[in-house]
Chains A and B, each alone.
Chain A
Amino acid sequence: MNRGTYAIRRVLLLFPTLLAIYTLTFFLIHSTPGGPWSQGGKPVPPLVLERLNEAYGLNDPVWKQYTDYLMNALQGDFGPSLAQRGRSVSEIIGETFPVSLKLGLVSMVIALTVGITLGTLGALKHNSALDYFTSFVAIIGISTPSYVVVSLLVLILASELHLLPTGGWDGIASTKIIIPAIALALYPAAVLARYTRSSLLDVLSADYIRTARAKGLRERPVVMRHAIRNALLPVLTVSGIILADIITGSFFVETVYSVPGLGRYFVSSISERDYPVILGTVLLFGAVISIMNLIVDLLYPLLDPRIAQR
């Protein structure tokens, strides 16, 4: 099958995927006990409950709510937030997603820079002290949960040393982005370091590299011009997935550091049973991840002709 057809097929597959995600989520949240109106200790009188349910369509039969919401969503209307009266889901997403996006992109840049550098160094100085050290750092980065990282950073850099603020968000060009960006970047950096290292090691032992050396090329251009570029291909594809993960926001980092992003909402809307927000964010995340996967899949053969030839 030629690439064009493949691409179209994949794009079309997005829709049933999203529909499945929507359906599953919808039924999951509606089969969970508790509702949006009985939050933490408020005994809402039954009459008010009735009116609220009526006003927000929660008294309709489940299948009707399912189709109603879907119809509206297809037209871009994700409904009103139940937990935050007077705000629509689109408004909320419109305000919070850009924050997560910006934070995620900054983190990604850090992760790519640090990760690829460390991985490369590790591979080039294979089995040296530097290699073991960078591997060690990578393992720590992979194993430490993000909320531990961000809490530690806040404790040390903010509380103890007073170098940075303890939380908040002021856009990209502010000291407030430093701690959350680092905290978010640690795991991806570690993953990228590992990938880069093993991929580069692989490439460095390939025949064509040996040929280049045999031809008399100095080590530097061997590495820079030939090895790294090819080694980075699998790393790039992994980056795509990581990027999708990061830009949808991390609940922990955003909560601990008070970043007004979407990751926080995603989780809090679940405990608040804010159905429209849950569905809206799930659909958004589903779309982002599916699209990123799609882009990566479509990009790979363009970058590596060997794949395309299969």
Chain B
Amino acid sequence: MVRISQDTQDFDSAVTRSGRRLTEAQVNRRKVMQGLVASGALATIAGMSRGVAAQATPEAGETYGTDAPAPYEGPLAEEQVMRLPTGEPVTMDPGVSYGDDELDILFNIYDGLTGIDQATGEVVPRVAESWEPNEDGSVFTFLLRQDVTWSDGTPITANDFAYSWKRVLDPNTLSEYMSAMYYIQNGEEIANGEMGLDELGVKVVDDRTLEVTLTGPMQFFPRIAATWTYYPVPKHIIDEYGVDWTDTGETGVSNGPYVVESWSHNQELVLAPNPNYYGEPVTLTRAVYRIFEDASTQAYIAFENGELDYAAPEGPDLARIMEDPEAQELLVQFPLSNCYFIICDCSHDPTAQIAFRQALYKSINREELAGTVLQDQWIPAYTIMSPDIPGSLDDQSPLNESVEEAVALLEEAGIDPASIELELTYQNSPARRKTVAEYLQATWQDTLGITVTLAPIEDSTYIDWRASRETQPFGVYTGNWGSDFVDPSNWINQNFTSQSDHYRNHWENARFDAIAEEAVSNTNDEERIQQYQEAERILVREAPIIPMFRGKAVRAVKPDVRDLYFQSTLSVVHLRTVKIAAAE
């Protein structure tokens, strides 16, 4: 967690100040989805046990950022309005949403059973006042608060949650994110049409009690229950308006700290405080989201011009800011829990040979790539799992960078570089991907002497292309992964085992698969971490996936905005605690 304060918080000083590495993790939203899809596909994976004793109170999760300054208590500004950028929401229905631009807003207008405290990263109660797992953590019983209502006063009960969750799996809802429900017993079968909606492992014991049966032991389920697909939706509104229920033109009905006051498509979306909110009332009187075609390139200039109070600059804006000390004062930076890597086809030569892949790994100069070529906006990565994940090897990679050794590897393996033609596929936007591809091509051609052909594909065809790699050969392609929640199973088990093979690289390692399966339900924390470390070691050493760099979040915030906390797993801007300080 990074607390916004008046001090400049650049990455390095933050690291030393907090004494340990900031462990912010931001998920490329799409990766969240991919993670949950993959995990859904792994109904066989028994879930995980974190080795934390079952508790009836919020799980003691990882705390991030030891210096969480106390909440601001000084004088407040007259006008408590915050202006932020966003893209046009694809849908405002949390059960349908795949987590695009609307996530920022959804997190502010809904409360699920649980939530993630923005300042500490811990799971906290929201609509549920407490919960209790059974012995092995495969069944959770949630006790709901009595005083929670929708913003129009209609009471919320356990029925609302059962309804909302089943609705996600209802084919008529056309949810793009059904797989989020695969953690619950029979969720996947229902999505596949093999069972009826009522067989979902959710039982309404009484108005206040919800019993959730999962597909296996899953101590981290309360974290998942905090994600947006698990939000309750107002049945009475949906019944009345049908598919248009989020866009009625009237004030939205939701149960979070804010409600949607108005939504002019492609122009502006305004939030107002929820008059019937059960929790701590918010300080802001309005949150105005200005809608951009591409907020990542257009918002910062509006921020500079005083039209916005927050922006997330990228690329050329960043380069410009880095040369302006005044602009840097307004920045908050923290590393993200993700990894950008190269995926190799392990079922076809030359990438089927370990030596070849290792040579590819060793010949890349990551400092140069992340620092110079990409202008220092990324952090070099030598291993796959990011450092905040228990089981990560951090920078202790079993492979080192060395061009000589890379060349030697090829020689020893009897591979003649001149005869190799490697195809590198990449998405053609954003521009950074092309830069990276070109850099890799230049590196491998120059240092190893192989020929690399570039094969750009359009963003919108990427998913189909990747799915077709199931049967179609490829050379290498670039991809990335970001944490959904802080646990190694979210990386190792969800993506890299031979059963999950999320990236279709056809890599198989029996030892890796065995450890992954054991570790997932290992209740001994220490052992578990060691097991995952071993798995990571195997993964990096055999290099079916070659890490390149990790992301760095850079946010620009006006100094009078206080108590804005950024969270690790999803980089949404939570306005729950935000206040505008009086001008000094």
Q: List chain A residues, Cβ under 8 A from B290.
A: 168, 258
Closest chain A CB from B210 CB (angstroms): 25
Docked pose: A48 CA to B193 CA in angstroms: 11
Q: List chain A residues, Cβ under 8 A from B193.
A: 47
Q: List chain A residues, Cβ under 8 A from B246.
A: 86
| CB interface residues, A 48-89, toward B, < 8 Å | 48, 51-52, 55, 83-87
Contact B463 A162 (CB under 8 A): no
Q: List chain B residues, Cβ under 8 A from A83.
A: 90
Contact B302 A167 (CB under 8 A): yes
From known contacts A35-B464, A85-B96, A260-B265, infer whether A41 and B30 are also in contact, taking CB-CB under 8 Å.
yes
Contact A38 B461 (CB under 8 A): yes
| CB interface residues, A 243-260, toward B, < 8 Å | 255-256, 258, 260
Closest chain B CB from A31 CB (angstroms): 13
Docked pose: A85 CA to B93 CA in angstroms: 10
Could you say which of B31, B292, B458, B464 contacts A258, with CB atoms under 8 Å apart?
B292
From known contacts A85-B91, A86-B243, infer whether A48 and B176 are also in contact, taking CB-CB under 8 Å.
yes
Docked pose: A188 CA to B350 CA in angstroms: 57
Q: Is A98 close to B, CB under 8 A?
A: no
Contact A45 B174 (CB under 8 A): no
Total residues of chain A contacting the partner, CB 8 A: 43
Docked pose: A83 CA to B192 CA in angstroms: 24
Closest chain B CB from A105 CB (angstroms): 20
Cβ-Cβ contact count across A and B, 8 Å cutoff: 126
Docked pose: A47 CA to B176 CA in angstroms: 10
Docked pose: A162 CA to B50 CA in angstroms: 54
| CB interface residues, B 79-104, toward A, < 8 Å | 88, 90-91, 93, 96, 98
Contact B298 A256 (CB under 8 A): yes
Q: Is A40 close to B, CB under 8 A?
A: yes
Per-residue contact bits, chain B 257-270, to A (CB 8 Å; 1 contact, 0 not): 00000001111000
Q: List chain B residues, Cβ under 8 A from A84.
A: 88, 90-91, 265
Q: Is A17 close to B, CB under 8 A?
A: no
Contact A55 B174 (CB under 8 A): yes
In this complex, what residue of B is CB-closest to A268? Answer: B293
| CB interface residues, B 185-232, toward A, < 8 Å | 191-193
Closest chain B CB from A99 CB (angstroms): 9
Per-residue contact bits, chain A 128-170, to B (CB 8 Å; 1 contact, 0 not): 0000000000000000000000000010001100100111110
Contact A167 B267 (CB under 8 A): no
Contact B464 A38 (CB under 8 A): yes
Q: Is A42 close to B, CB under 8 A?
A: yes
Q: List chain B residues, Cβ under 8 A from A159.
A: 301, 304-305
Docked pose: A169 CA to B267 CA in angstroms: 7
Category for how many chain B residues contact A: 35 or more
Contact B91 A86 (CB under 8 A): yes
> Which of B265, B267, B293 has the largest number of chain A CB atoms within 10 A?
B293
Closest chain B CB from A280 CB (angstroms): 16
Q: Is A297 close to B, CB under 8 A?
A: no
Contact B458 A34 (CB under 8 A): yes
Contact B293 A273 (CB under 8 A): no
In this complex, what residue of B is CB-closest to A165? Answer: B307
Docked pose: A297 CA to B93 CA in angstroms: 50
Docked pose: A87 CA to B91 CA in angstroms: 10
Closest chain A CB from B137 CB (angstroms): 26
Q: List chain B residues, Cβ under 8 A from A113.
A: none
Per-residue contact bits, chain A 89-117, to B (CB 8 Å; 1 contact, 0 not): 00010011000000000000000000000
Could you say which of A39, A43, A158 contacts B305, with CB atoms under 8 Å apart?
A158
Q: Is A211 close to B, CB under 8 A?
A: no
Docked pose: A273 CA to B292 CA in angstroms: 20
Contact B30 A42 (CB under 8 A): yes
Docked pose: A268 CA to B293 CA in angstroms: 9
From known contacts A41-B30, A260-B266, infer whether A166 and B301 are also in contact, taking CB-CB under 8 Å.
yes
> Which of A38, A43, A48 has the largest number of chain B CB atoms within 10 A?
A43
Could you say which of A43, A45, A258 contacts B293, with CB atoms under 8 Å apart?
A258
Closest chain B CB from A87 CB (angstroms): 7
From known contacts A51-B174, A85-B91, A166-B307, infer whether A42 and B463 are also in contact, taking CB-CB under 8 Å.
yes
Q: Is B460 close to A, CB under 8 A?
A: yes
Docked pose: A37 CA to B462 CA in angstroms: 11
Docked pose: A43 CA to B461 CA in angstroms: 11
Q: List chain A residues, Cβ under 8 A from B91.
A: 84-86
Contact B305 A165 (CB under 8 A): yes
Docked pose: A159 CA to B301 CA in angstroms: 7
Docked pose: A41 CA to B247 CA in angstroms: 26
Q: Is A264 close to B, CB under 8 A?
A: yes
Contact B174 A52 (CB under 8 A): yes
Docked pose: A45 CA to B40 CA in angstroms: 10
Contact B293 A166 (CB under 8 A): no
Closest chain B CB from A90 CB (angstroms): 14
Contact A34 B191 (CB under 8 A): no
Q: Is A16 close to B, CB under 8 A?
A: no
From known contacts A85-B90, A85-B243, A168-B290, infer whether A39 and B301 are also in contact, taking CB-CB under 8 Å.
no
Q: List chain A residues, Cβ under 8 A from B178.
A: 45, 47-48
| CB interface residues, B 50-103, toward A, < 8 Å | 88, 90-91, 93, 96, 98
Q: Is B454 close to A, CB under 8 A?
A: no
From known contacts A38-B461, A41-B462, A256-B298, infer whether A264 and B293 are also in contact, taking CB-CB under 8 Å.
yes
Q: Is B164 close to A, CB under 8 A?
A: no
Q: List chain B residues, Cβ under 8 A from A39.
A: 459-460
- Give residues in A with beta carbon < 8 Å to B: 33-35, 37-45, 47-48, 51-52, 55, 83-87, 92, 95-96, 154, 158-159, 162, 165-169, 255-256, 258, 260, 264, 268, 271-273
- 21 sampled A-B residue pairs with Cβ under 8 A: A34-B461, A35-B460, A37-B176, A40-B459, A42-B176, A43-B37, A45-B40, A45-B179, A48-B175, A48-B178, A84-B90, A85-B174, A86-B243, A158-B305, A162-B306, A166-B305, A166-B307, A258-B266, A258-B291, A260-B264, A271-B460
Given contacts A40-B459, A42-B98, A87-B247, 6 further A-B contacts (CB under 8 A): A33-B461, A34-B464, A42-B463, A86-B91, A167-B298, A258-B290
List the 7 shortest-distance A-B pairs measured between CB atoms, nearest first: A41-B30, A260-B266, A34-B460, A38-B463, A34-B461, A166-B302, A255-B293
